Structure 1
């Protein structure tokens, strides 16, 4: 159960009534709220009581008005607002000492201007409460903060997504086989195995042509050697030293 202390300025009966209604609503909704109006029937050392509440509270709700801000700054007569000025000094020191804020929550009631928030509280999360009811969005927001209950729960983090490349790598041949050259200095787009296959085929073709040419010049017969040649008048057959015309 969070312990909550409300800091405010007793600037009018109407404002005191609004702050009291807020404190009662928070107690109704499960908060242990302390307010000076609950102890008006007791004889107390008020500065010491305020300091004790500030130290024990899990959260300090600062109901900000123009009068509250002026009293925190000391921009009022010396006989007015000493309690708020002292509380403001304690809270300002806490911001300075902790270099942050974990428990001080400025509140704006009704249509109060944001300029009413003292400078050292400005920039931090604040709530605007129109009515201390569950139908009021600002009141519900304040309850979420006091109870440390998230408004939106994030989904669990899943596996990291794998994204395809947006374009081919400059060193990777494209699908058409026309981009870049192979590392062996071969023709563009041809793999090393295909290059050597083409070279082997060319060698076979050259060797085959040479062999056929040799066959035309000399044919070995079973009963002697016959050379088939060509003279100016046509092919002739030469065999056994005689020359005949075909």
Structure 2
């Protein structure tokens, strides 16, 4: 944003936490004005002629930049969770800011989050959490903040020079056209294979992140959504990054119960594989192992993939977080993110987002990224069926049925690959219509329930069987989702109950609808929120906004299929 010779116009959005906090804001505004920033706050006004709501709206429109002063109370009011009649100013401003970001697809340079203490960094509203924040409790932080407001970057971009001509790198010819195809035929992966389809834009985006500064990438999503395959496909995309030396690509799968998963054992396993000498005394000194592993990864270019991270996490009934069972993993990831420079990258796949990594990542924003994985889109689903050998041409009789199956499963890659394989093999022998005649009624039941929801019948204890439609689906899809439900039931009982109870909703509904179910289980408001946040952290609930700009919650069709079955057994001992 370029203000030219004019003073930047800045409005400060904050909550009246205390008299001390109001004085702090007034001091900040006065200093900014003294230093050439046209700053405005409500304390400069006695009673605006247009009334406070319109005044606030006009200020937000007038300002070139809006400074968002983040505190626990501000975040609560911004999200509309304050008691009725309290903090209406911040609630109003929060609604306007949210709407403006929604309209701009969250692409804006206007909003500047700031904090006056390190603990307030935990209360940055999610709508502005992705923007650069400034710590005003240090003079260094204020100077960086002032540079932002006045468009005076610490490192201004130099003018573009002339291109330097370099000699091309000459590579020996490959026996096939695509180098990535060569690799896929010569190296075994857990999940990535010839049936891979789509996600090309995402692969490009993640590849660019890794080659820039991202050293810790977390791919999250429900079971079977393709997290491991995506990470392996990304490794293929990045092979030039580590010079095509596949000894520098290492996979650790925590789903393998035969290998110890504590940090010390894994560190020894990695270092020894990479040629490091580990003595018996070294094995006893976990801190020394951590230091050596971080140093080795920082000085050598390795791509490390760690799958099924949820296996080494544990829930907390009171707080709902997914924390590491072994605290040394927390120390390792903290140290890995904090080192000054690093040549390696670690890719994690998990059904749960580890809160401890997220907290560490907020202090190293450029070095980590969390990527939520969703299902395949319509064209990708048809591509998957095509790769399986099914006819999806416009003239094909079975195309419409495959599209309906793909929609019912919401593009879930594992489920669709199983369905495609069943259609391709005996007894159907690629006869899509025959498969539909046998199992299509289950898809129709899903379609009818969703259609009724559109007409206003949002409740229904349906009998969906998407997860157990056939024996192969029961073995490969149902069993994997069931493990997530078992872990949830064991570690966060009321989150499990909430997931089961909310399965009665056929369509997205407001958060209040969900939370109301726990009132019958004598859970207070804080306990209800913890349970819902647990489901968010484990991606068992999906959030979206409707055409009235309301935030709604829903369950993936496959998750709901399992939830409905568990709901019937909820009262069992």
TM-score normalised by the chain length of structure 1 = 0.62
The reply on whether 1:75 has 2:81 as its aligned counterpart is yes
Query: Does the 8 Å contact 2:48/2:55 carry over to 1?
Result: no
Aligned to 1:21: 27
CA deviation map 1:43-96 (0-9, x unaligned)? 661111111111111111110001000001111110211110010000000001
Residues 4-55 of structure 1 show CA distances to partners (whole Å, capped at 9, x for unaligned) of 1110000111111111111111001101111111113666611111111111
Cα 1:74–1:167 shift into 2, 3 Å: closer
- Distance change (3 Å), C-alpha of 1:162 and 1:43: closer
What residue is the counterpart of 1:91 in the other structure? 97
C-alpha offsets along residues 177-204 of structure 1, whole Å, 9 cap, x if unaligned? xxxxxxxxxxxxxxxxxxxxxxxxxxxx
Change (3 A) 1:168 1:152: closer
Provide the secondary structure at the position in 2 that maps to 1:80: coil
Equivalent-residue separation in structure 1 for 2:134 and 2:103 (angstroms): 24
Distance 2:125 2:28 in 1: 21
The structure with the greater share of residues assigned to strand is 1
Detail structure 1 runs of 4+ shifted over 4 Å in the superposition.
41-44, 164-170
* Partner of residue 157, structure 1: 160
Shift of residue 125 of structure 1? 1.3
Q: Report matched runs for 1:204-215 at 5 Å.
A: none
Equivalent pairs, count: 166
In 1, Cα distance between equivalents of 2:82 and 2:49: 27
Distance 1:71 1:149 in 2: 33
In the alignment, the residues of structure 2 paired with residue 168 and residue 108 of structure 1 have an alpha-carbon distance, to the nearest angstrom, of: 52
- Work out whether residues 32 and 39 of structure 2, in 8 Å CA contact, stay in contact via their aligned partners in 1: yes
CA distance in 1: counterparts of 2:18 and 2:171, whole angstroms: 74
Which sections of structure 2, spanning at least 5 residues, go unmatched?
Answer: 1-6, 174-573
Of 142, 148, 151, the residue aligned with 1:148 is 151
The farther-off stretch of 144-153 and 41-50 is: 41-50
Gap runs ≥5 in structure 1: 171-246
Aligned residues of 2:70 and 2:120 also touching (Cα < 8 A): no
Please state whether the residue corresponding to 2:11 is helix, strand or coil: strand
- Following superposition of structure 1 onto structure 2, how do residues 113-132 of structure 1 map, counting pairs within 5 Å? 113-130=120-137
